[in-house]
């Protein structure tokens, strides 16, 4: 009797240890609802602070999906040129409030430029994933469009609105939206064939050239047969004149040090085809930057100029430019964008494809 009790305690200890380890290292535990000991492992995982993702596209409340300690896997930070950057990942943009505001602003400009939030012919999805969700704005807007779907935003950094909501702040999440922390350079924390629609936008400054095939493969793996994967990426600004070209040159040199090639933004559709997606559509959309593009052009110029400022710290730290030189060239780029004769564009590539059924 005593021996049995002792063995039981050892088994419980092992289970708790495994659950804590999962929670600590992964932060997310993905479980099939029909898995043996589902209840026990789920309770242990949640008790250990892990995010619990119930797979097989079951309807679950978003509160069950969102960890109370979203920051756990967020990258450590460092300060470069007065801006806060994540440490330990290749991503070059900051992760501070100013950048969050820029991403929200950019989201609204892109929604206007593209006349919507996505183009894939998605119908009655039960689960949607937004990879590298940033502020989560895209996912939070898509959630009410598909109220029956579970919509997940994944990012290495928790969006400020989710941190606020976790703390009982004013920001209300749509009831079918949840944030899940994750690193897209690792295996995504979801089972195969979990989502009907997987969306990823503007990760080109985060993914080294040789990791793109892995990342696209992961997007496809978590998409169910018949479901859709959509990618929206950009390549370097074009036709902006000498100052814009100069800044783009510094950006490219900085990215090269991290093995990131901004031209990969144009190659995602090709990777989708190579990895077996069908009904692939690849479209280039030149979004105007500057006065020549009317309202969208002016808004886009504000976004791009702010983005250049966000990158100056790392470029100066690498010795690619100096503060004085950057200020001078930046002012010239700003003047160019104010001229209706300069037809600067941001070439976006929108690619989507369907996982064969
Ligand atoms: C330019 S923002 C785009 C955000 C959002 N997709 C949008 O379009 O507004 C890139 C996002 O990717 C995230 N990110 C960078 N590296 C990542 C990684 N390795 N895993 C997950 N997210 C990452 C950043 O934290 C940031 O939120």
Residues of the chain under the 70 pLDDT cut: 1-75, 162-171
C-alpha 268/C-alpha 208 separation (Å) is: 13
Specify the pLDDT at position 164.
Answer: 64
Alpha carbons within 13 angstroms on the beta-carbon side of residue 4 total 1
* pTM as predicted: 0.82
| Helical (H) or strand (E) element with 153 | strand 150-155
C-alpha 73/C-alpha 24 separation (Å) is: 8
**Contact by Cβ (8 Å): 334, 288:** no
Distance 84 CA to ligand 1 centre (A): 15
Distance 134 CA to ligand 1 centre (A): 5
Distance 286 CA to ligand 1 centre (A): 22
Specify the pLDDT at position 33.
Answer: 36
Q: Which of 206, 222, 230, 349 to mutate to test the pocket of ligand 1 (most atoms within 8 A of CB)?
A: 206
C-alpha 343/C-alpha 299 separation (Å) is: 15
Specify the pLDDT at position 167.
Answer: 60
Cα–Cα distances in angstroms (integers) from residue 253 to residues 79, 210, 274, in the given order: 20, 17, 29
Q: Which of 203, 215, 303 to mutate to test the pocket of ligand 1 (most atoms within 8 A of CB)?
A: 203
Q: Which residues of 166-196 are buried (b: 16+ CB within 10 A; e: fewer)?
A: beeeeeebbebbbbbbbbbbeebbbbebbbb
Beta strands at 223-234 and 177-181: parallel, antiparallel or unpaired: unpaired
Distance 86 CA to ligand 1 centre (A): 11
Which of 98, 99, 93 lies closest to 80, judged by CA? 93
Give me the residues paired with residue 354 across strands.
228, 278
Specify the pLDDT at position 172.
Answer: 76
Specify the pLDDT at position 168.
Answer: 59
Distance 159 CA to ligand 1 centre (A): 10
Lining residues, ligand 1, CB within 6 Å = 89, 91, 93, 95, 103, 107, 132-134, 138, 155-157, 183-185, 201-203, 206
Distance 288 CA to ligand 1 centre (A): 23
Q: Which of 74, 83, 91 to mutate to test the pocket of ligand 1 (most atoms within 8 A of CB)?
A: 91
**Contact by Cβ (8 Å): 266, 69:** no
Which burial class, exposed, middle or buried, applies to 252 when counting CB atoms under 10 A from its CB (0-12, 13-18, 19+)? middle
Cα–Cα distances in angstroms (integers) from residue 51 to residues 3, 65, 179, 198, 200, in the given order: 35, 6, 9, 19, 21
Which of 70, 73, 285 lies closest to 178, judged by CA? 70
C-alpha 34/C-alpha 151 separation (Å) is: 22
Distance 142 CA to ligand 1 centre (A): 17
- Give the CA angle between residues 151, 157, 22 to the nearest 5°: 80
C-alpha 326/C-alpha 319 separation (Å) is: 11
Which of 139, 179, 189 lies closest to 159, judged by CA? 179
The number of the ligand 1 atom at minimal distance from the alpha carbon of 130 is 6
**Contact by Cβ (8 Å): 49, 69:** yes
Instruction: State both tokens at 166.
Output: 């976790």
Strand 150-155: give its sheet, edge to edge: 177-181, 150-155, 127-131, 195-201, 223-234, 345-354, 278-288
């Amino acid at each position: 009797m005593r021996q049995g009790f002792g063995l039981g305690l050892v088994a419980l200890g092992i289970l708790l240890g495994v659950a804590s380890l999962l929670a600590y290292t992964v932060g997310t535990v993905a479980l099939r609802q029909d898995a043996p000991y589902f209840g026990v492992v789920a309770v242990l995982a949640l008790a250990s602070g892990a995010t619990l993702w119930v797979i097989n596209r079951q309807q679950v409340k978003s509160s069950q999906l969102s960890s109370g300690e979203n920051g756990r896997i967020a990258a450590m930070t460092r300060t470069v040129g007065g801006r806060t950057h994540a440490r330990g990942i290749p991503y070059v943009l900051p992760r501070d409030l100013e950048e969050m505001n820029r991403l929200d602003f950019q989201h609204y400009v892109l929604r206007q430029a593209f006349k919507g939030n996505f183009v894939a012919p998605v119908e009655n999805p039960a689960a949607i994933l937004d990879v590298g969700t940033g502020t989560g704005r895209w996912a939070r807007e898509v959630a009410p469009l598909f109220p029956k779907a579970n919509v997940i935003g994944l990012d290495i950094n928790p969006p400020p609105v989710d941190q606020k909501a976790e703390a009982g702040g004013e920001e209300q999440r749509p009831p079918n939206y949840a944030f899940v922390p994750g690193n897209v350079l690792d295996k995504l924390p979801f089972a195969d064939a979990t989502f009907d629609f997987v969306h990823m936008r503007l990760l080109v400054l985060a993914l080294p050239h040789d990791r793109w095939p892995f990342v696209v493969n992961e997007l496809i793996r978590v998409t169910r047969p018949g479901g859709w994967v959509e990618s929206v990426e950009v390549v370097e600004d074009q036709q902006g004149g000498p100052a814009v070209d100069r800044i783009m040159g510094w950006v490219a040199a900085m990215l090269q040090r991290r093995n990131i090639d901004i031209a990969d933004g144009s190659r995602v559709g090709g990777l989708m085809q190579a990895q077996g997606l069908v009904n692939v559509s690849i479209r280039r959309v030149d979004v105007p930057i500057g006065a020549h593009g009317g309202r969208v052009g002016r808004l886009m110029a504000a976004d791009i100029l702010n983005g250049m400022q966000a990158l100056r710290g790392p470029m100066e730290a690498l010795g690619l430019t100096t503060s004085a030189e950057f200020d001078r060239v930046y002012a010239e780029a700003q003047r160019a964008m104010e001229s209706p004769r300069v037809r600067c564009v941001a070439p976006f590539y929108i690619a989507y494809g369907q996982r064969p059924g």
